[in-house]
Amino acid sequence: MLPKFHAAAGAVALLTIAGFWTATVTTLLIGDKYLIAMVKLTIAWGLLGVIPMLLLAGLSGNRLARAMRGPVIAAKQRRMKIIAINGVVFLVPSALTLLPLAMQGQGGLVYYGIQLIELAAGATNITLLALNMRDGMRLARRRAMVA
């Protein structure tokens, strides 16, 4: 049961972050200030869902890893630390800083600088979460073969 819960939490987090990233890029390309503001508002509220999913994925992953060792587990744990640091240092502050700027219709160098940082950190987390998902599926297949 725990492996399925872990996989679901990780998948929801990955899809949510990928959705935030895609919506941000799309609205920036469209350039409509109202759409950009709505996406930023959605992302800010979405943090209330994605942060718990990441925490649940991390906690359930640590619980599952108690019985396992090896380079794949170590890599997944290292990635989760980077994902957490990215979120706390870059993604959450960027989202909460960009929201009021977008709501006021402000662009400019500061806005786009912060936006660039957010997109880079988001792409990094998407990549790391996808790698963790790939490794998790490999571990699940190995467990299934042994059982």
Asked if pLDDT for residue 14 goes beyond 90, the answer is yes
For residues 11-16, average pLDDT? 98
Half-sphere exposure of 36 (CA within 13 A, CB side): 20
% of the chain residues with pLDDT over 70: 99
Would you give the DSSP letter of residue 91? I
Residue 67 — pLDDT band, cuts 50, 70, 90? confident
pLDDT score recorded for residue 34: 96
51 CB burial (10 A radius; 0-12, 13-18, 19+) = middle
Are 17 and 129 in contact by the 8 Å Cβ rule? The answer is yes
pLDDT score recorded for residue 147: 63
Distances in Å between the Cα of 21 and the Cα atoms of 18, 28, 47, 63 are 5, 11, 13, 29
For residues 88-95, average pLDDT? 98
Q: Could you tell me the residue range of the domain that residue 71 belongs to? A: 2-146
Q: How many domains does the chain have?
A: 1
- State pLDDT tens for residues 30-63: 989 999 999 999 999 999 999 999 999 999 999 9
pTM beyond cutoff 0.95: no
- Calculate Rg over the CA atoms of the chain: 17
Q: How far apart are CA 74 and CA 80, in angstroms?
A: 10
- State pLDDT tens for residues 92-123: 999 999 999 999 998 899 999 999 999 999 99
